[in-house]
Amino acid sequence: MKESYLQRPLILALAICLTGCFYVDPPPSEPYIVEGYRPSYGAQSMKAIELVAARELKNPGKIYKYKNFLLVCEITQGIHVFDNADVTSPKPVGFIQIVGNSDMAIKDDVLYADHMGNLVAITIDDFNSINAKGTLPLQNWPSGLPPPAGFHFECIDQSKGLVIGWKKVQITNPACYATN
Residue 74 to residue 155: CA distance in whole angstroms: 25
Provide the pLDDT for residue 154.
Answer: 92
CB 141 within 8 A of CB 123: no
Q: What is the DSSP string of 9-68?
A: HHHHHHHHHHHGGG--PPPPSS--EEEEEEEEEE-GGGG--EEE------SEEEEEEETT
Asked whether residue 155 carries a pLDDT value surpassing 50, the answer given is yes
Query: For the segment 4-30, what is each residue's pLDDT rounded down to a tens digit?
Result: 666 666 665 555 555 544 445 555 567
Which range has the worst mean pLDDT, 127-136, 137-146, 150-159, 171-180? 137-146
Query: For the segment 26-82, what is each residue's pLDDT rounded down to a tens digit?
Result: 555 678 889 999 998 877 666 788 999 999 999 899 999 999 999 999 988 899 999
Domains and CATH numbers, the chain: 33-178 (2.40.128)
Residue 39 to residue 152: CA distance in whole angstroms: 11
Query: For the segment 85-118, what is each residue's pLDDT rounded down to a tens digit?
Result: 999 999 999 999 998 888 899 998 899 998 877 7
Provide the pLDDT for residue 138.
Answer: 67
